[in-house]
Amino acid sequence: MIDRPRTILQLLPKLDAGGAERVAIEIAQAVHLCGHRSIIVAEDGPLSNLALRAGAELIHLPVASKNPLKIWRNGRKLRAVMRENHVDLVHAHSRAPAWAAFRAARALDIPFVTTYHGSYGEKSKLKKRYNQVMASGARVVAVSEFISDLIKSRYKIDPAKLRVIHNGVDLQKFDPAAVRGDRAVRLAKEWRIENGQPAILLPGRLTGWKGQRLFIRALAKMQHQEAVGILIGSDQGRHKYTQELLDLANRLGVGGRLRLAGHVEDMPAALKLADIVVNCSTEPEAFGRTIIEAQAMGKIVVAAGHGGAHETIEPDVTGFLFPPGDDTALAALFDAILEGDAELRLAFGQRAREAMGQRFSLEAMQTRYLHLYAELLG
């Protein structure tokens, strides 16, 4: 669809273990496999090796800084990078790098694309102006209809520029049949889960709005007091918050039922081990990547009923939604699922996996991004 090999440059603050970073790497993989050149500009991070394996070339620049002077300096550095590497299209996934890239791309008359990965708070005019760069591309990608509606409500944007491209899930990696039993057994031993003991998994970095406090309160209200709650995700240096969670669990009498697993490399095995996977964010998720990964693994997912969850879960068919912030309703859902027939739970999970293949495959996401690039370059 694109007439000759092109160079696509993507920008992120850091190659950290987050959803935006994984999307950028998955796009880089598709670009590389189609015979084009893929460059990612970001600070070094845990996903750097994964990006290299996907076929991306890495250029490490300090583009995470929000300091206006540093953004201006990064813009000058990026202009040099773009000229030197004959970049044909620039794609930004975060605000600070986007400001630097926007000016550089405009100076060189290179198409500029953004992906709007979050809802981005706007408590002041200055913050709104800072966020606005993410709606300033020749094409602006929203990761959900929820985010698309938010963009349209905030900015005067030409509808022809706006695209909704849902995140995708790798159905080969997240396939219960492909995960050997010993991988899950190893994690069960590490997390001290006895055979037959129900495991409820909350994946997500340890930060307040991801709902870990709500999750612990729900554990305390469950009838199934044998169930273990597992928090997966790094606290990224927020050790005070981690201690706060432990103190809350002990105060509510569920300290012995809570596991803080930290960052887990083998997420398919962790999901296979779980009886229930939960997303209980207290603020709306832009999309909710772990929701589709868990469903791809054939797991029952319970999520707060706001934001992107309305698009990734078909209520009572592929998963369940509960009123955001309601720990009593969440506990009741946990109990009802655990009391349900095992065969019905299996059928539920199979429907969820089929739905992910039809609506949220990685290949579909990659193809849509390549089509978008072709619109601007073909």
59 within domain boundaries: yes
1 within domain boundaries: no
Question: Is residue 138 located within the same domain as residue 75?
Answer: yes
Overall domain count for the chain: 2
Question: Is residue 183 located within the same domain as residue 141?
Answer: no
Q: With contact defined as beta carbons under 8 Å apart, do 137 and 113 qualify?
A: yes
Average pLDDT over residues 313-327: 96
| Sign of the dihedral through C-alpha 199, 18, 127, 66 | positive
SS3 of residue 202 by DSSP? strand
Question: Is residue 261 located within the same domain as residue 373?
Answer: no
* Two tokens, residue 130: 């800072």
Bridge-based pairing state of the strands 57-59 and 89-92: unpaired
Question: Is residue 154 located within the same domain as residue 12?
Answer: yes
Question: Is residue 94 located within the same domain as residue 220?
Answer: no
Question: Is residue 52 located within the same domain as residue 189?
Answer: no
pLDDT exceeds 60 at position 223? yes
Question: Is residue 181 located within the same domain as residue 260?
Answer: yes
Give the per-residue pLDDT at 306: 97
pLDDT exceeds 80 at position 357? yes
What burial letters (b/e) apply to 199-227, b meaning 16+ CB within 10 Å? bbbbbbbbeeebbbbbbbbbbbbbebeeb
Q: What is the CATH number of the domain that holds 115?
A: 3.40.50.2000
2 within domain boundaries: no
Give the per-residue pLDDT at 181: 81
Give the per-residue pLDDT at 254: 98
126 within domain boundaries: yes
Q: With contact defined as beta carbons under 8 Å apart, do 139 and 117 qualify?
A: no
Average pLDDT over residues 1-18: 88
pLDDT in tens, 169-205: 999 999 999 998 899 999 999 999 998 899 999 999 9
Amino acid present at 175: D
Question: Is residue 280 located within the same domain as residue 200?
Answer: yes
Give the per-residue pLDDT at 346: 87
pLDDT exceeds 80 at position 3? no
Give the per-residue pLDDT at 243: 97
Give the per-residue pLDDT at 345: 85
Question: Is residue 319 located within the same domain as residue 341?
Answer: yes
The pLDDT-based confidence of 269 (bands split at 50, 70, 90) is: very high
160 within domain boundaries: yes
Question: Is residue 154 located within the same domain as residue 187?
Answer: no
pLDDT exceeds 90 at position 122? no
Average pLDDT over residues 131-151: 97
Nearest residue to 6 via CA among 29, 26, 32: 32
Range of the domain at 355: 176-359
Give the per-residue pLDDT at 238: 85
Question: Is residue 93 located within the same domain as residue 192?
Answer: no
Nearest residue to 9 via CA among 35, 21, 33, 27: 27
Question: Is residue 82 located within the same domain as residue 184?
Answer: no
Nearest residue to 10 via CA among 286, 18, 29: 29
pLDDT exceeds 70 at position 1? no
269 within domain boundaries: yes
Give the per-residue pLDDT at 327: 98
pLDDT in tens, 35-55: 999 999 999 999 999 999 999
17 within domain boundaries: yes
What average pLDDT does the chain have?
A: 95
Question: For residues 298 and 349, what is the distance between their CA atoms, to the nearest angstrom?
Answer: 4
Angle, helices 95-108/68-84, rounded to nearest 10 degrees? 50
